[in-house]
Amino acid sequence: MADFKTSPGTRDILSPDSARWRAFQGVFESTVEAAGYDYIIPPMFEDLDVFLRLGEATDVVTKEMYDFHDKGGRHIALRPEQTASVCRAFVEHRPTTPWKVWYSGPNFRYEKPQQGRYRQFDQVGIEALGVDDAFLDAEVIALAAKFYSALGLRKIELSINSLGDSGDRDKYAKKLSEYFAKHESKLTAESKATLLRNPLRVLDSKREPDQEIIIGAPAIRETISNESREHFEAVLSALDALKISYKINDRLVRGLDYYRRTTFEFVSTALEAAHTAIGGGGRYDGLVEALGGPPTAGIGFALGLDRTLLACDAESVFAAPLKEVDVFVVDTVDGTHAHELCHQIRTHGFSADRAYDLRSIKAQMKAADRSGARIALIIGSNEVENESVMLRPMGSGEQYVVPRQDILNEIAKYTIKTNI
C-alpha cells in the first residue's frame, strides 16, 4: 500500500488549530468590516498573465509559480497572492470607487518549505481602490496594527518607506545599478545574477557580503519626486496622529514589483530571523492599468495567517478557543433515547452531542468530558421508566432528576442559545 502523506509545504489543519484559524479570521473580519471593507472571494486560479504583473524578475513569478496548461490549452496559475486578482476583478466588474474589499484564503508558492514558509499558506488582507488620499494609507496601516493588537500581539514592529512613483523607481533602479556595478566584485554570485534582472531585489539579500555593500547604497527617498515626498510626509503625520509607531526603512523595497510610493512591512520580534515578516503591503497605483483598466490608485496589505499564529505562539497569546457543546447525552439503554433527545435539543437551538455503539457508561462519560459539554443528560432504564433524565453539571460532582417534559427549560438555565 502506498504511504499517503501531505505534499511538502502543505499541512492538514486539525482541531483545535482549525478552530483557532476560524477565530483568527473572525477577528480580522470584525476589524475590517467595522471600517467599511466588504468580503470578496477571488478564484484560486487565473490566467498566468494576471500574475505576471507581479514582476517578471521577482522570485514569485520566475521560481515559485504553480502554473500548468489546462485541458482547454489555457496557461493557468494557482494564485500566489490576491492583490492582482482583486485588481483584475476591479477591471472586470468596474465597481464604484472607493472600492474597499477584504479576503481570506490560501495562496500557493513553490518555496523551500520550512517553519513559517509553506507552499500552500493562508493570508487575510484588504485592498482599497480608487483613492489617492494619504489618510487611506494611514487607515490601512492602522487596521493592520489594530488587528495585531486585537490578537494580543505586542512585539510587532512597523517599517515604512516610499518608493516614489514609477518614474522615480526607474531613476532609482538606474542609480542602484551604477552603485552595485562599482562594487560588483564584492557581491555574492546570487546577487550578481539578481543585479542583471532587477537591481532593487539586491537590497533584499540577507547574505553577509552583500549586506556590507547594501549599507552604503543610495536610498530611494533621495531620488523621489516632490509630490511623492509630500504624500509620504502626509502618511507619516496621519500615523503620528493615531500614535502608531514606525521606523522609516530606506531599504524596504518588498518582494513584488507593483509597489509605488508607500510600502510597509510588519515584523514580529518574537520570531526567529527566517520568518519574521508577518505582513506587508503598500500602494500599487499602476497595477489596475497594467491589467487593462483605467489609471486607478490602490493600496492594501496581506498578512500570513500561519506566520502570525507562530508569532502568537511565541508571545503566548490568542490560544485556540475551548471546545464547547451545551449538552452531552449519555444513553445506557439502547441509543434511541440519545438519538431522539439530541434531535429535540438541537431543534430548539441548543448544541448537543452523544456517544454511539452503546459504549459503557464510563466510556460515555469520558466522551462527555472530551466534548467540552456544560451538562450531561444521563438516561438509564430507571429514567426511561419514570420519563425523566439525570442531569449532571460537568465537573460539579452533583446530579439531579429532571422530568422529561422540563428538560429544555432546565438546559436553558445552563446555556446561551446558539443559532436555531
Residues that bind ligand HAM (CB under 6 A): 81, 83, 109, 111, 117-118, 121, 123, 125, 127, 255-256, 277-282, 284, 300-304, 306-307
- Our CB check for ligand HAM shows the closer of 81 and 315 to be 81
Q: At residue 167, what are phi and psi to the nearest 5 degrees?
A: -65, -45
Which grid coordinates belong to 73? 490549452
CB of 380 to ligand HAM, least distance (A): 52
State the amino acid at position 8 in one-letter form.
Answer: P
- Our CB check for ligand HAM shows the closer of 90 and 328 to be 90
User: Shortest Cβ contact with ligand HAM: which residue?
Assistant: 304
- Our CB check for ligand HAM shows the closer of 159 and 191 to be 159
d(Cα 290, Cα 170) in Å, to the nearest integer? 16
Which grid coordinates belong to 60? 514569485
CB of 96 to ligand HAM, least distance (A): 20
- Our CB check for ligand HAM shows the closer of 259 and 328 to be 259
d(Cα 335, Cα 196) in Å, to the nearest integer? 72
- Our CB check for ligand HAM shows the closer of 309 and 342 to be 309
Q: Which of helix, strand or coil describes residue 405?
A: helix
- Our CB check for ligand HAM shows the closer of 87 and 239 to be 87
CB of 349 to ligand HAM, least distance (A): 39
Q: Which of helix, strand or coil describes residue 127?
A: strand
CB of 278 to ligand HAM, least distance (A): 5
H helix count then E strand count, the chain:
16, 16
CB of 37 to ligand HAM, least distance (A): 12
d(Cα 49, Cα 291) in Å, to the nearest integer? 9
Q: Which helix (H) or strand (E) holds 170?
A: helix 166-182
Q: Which helix (H) or strand (E) holds 352?
A: strand 352-354
CB of 189 to ligand HAM, least distance (A): 24
- Our CB check for ligand HAM shows the closer of 262 and 332 to be 262
d(Cα 317, Cα 309) in Å, to the nearest integer? 9
Q: Which of 393, 389, 388, 387 is nearest to 415 (CA)?
A: 393
Determine the straight-line distance between the first and last CA of the chain, rounded to whole angstroms. 45
Residues in CB range of 104: below 8 A, 6 or more apart: 25, 28, 29, 122, 123, 124, 125, 305
CB of 120 to ligand HAM, least distance (A): 8
- Our CB check for ligand HAM shows the closer of 50 and 256 to be 256
- Our CB check for ligand HAM shows the closer of 279 and 286 to be 279
Among left, alpha and beta (phi > 0; psi -120 to 50; other), residue 363 is alpha
- Our CB check for ligand HAM shows the closer of 82 and 415 to be 82
Q: Which of helix, strand or coil describes residue 278?
A: strand
CB of 211 to ligand HAM, least distance (A): 20
CB of 84 to ligand HAM, least distance (A): 8
In terms of C-beta distances under 8 Å and separation of at least 24 residues, what long-range contacts does 402-409 make, across chains too?
A: 407/341, 407/345, 407/377, 408/344, 408/345, 408/348, 408/350
Q: Which of helix, strand or coil describes residue 340?
A: helix
CB of 329 to ligand HAM, least distance (A): 42
Cite the beta strand spans of 70-155 per DSSP E.
75-78, 99-108, 120-129
Are the beta carbons of 166 and 257 closer than 8 angstroms?
no
Q: Which of 288, 250, 257 is nearest to 99 (CA)?
A: 288
Are the beta carbons of 23 and 322 closer than 8 angstroms?
no
- Our CB check for ligand HAM shows the closer of 103 and 180 to be 103
CB of 277 to ligand HAM, least distance (A): 4
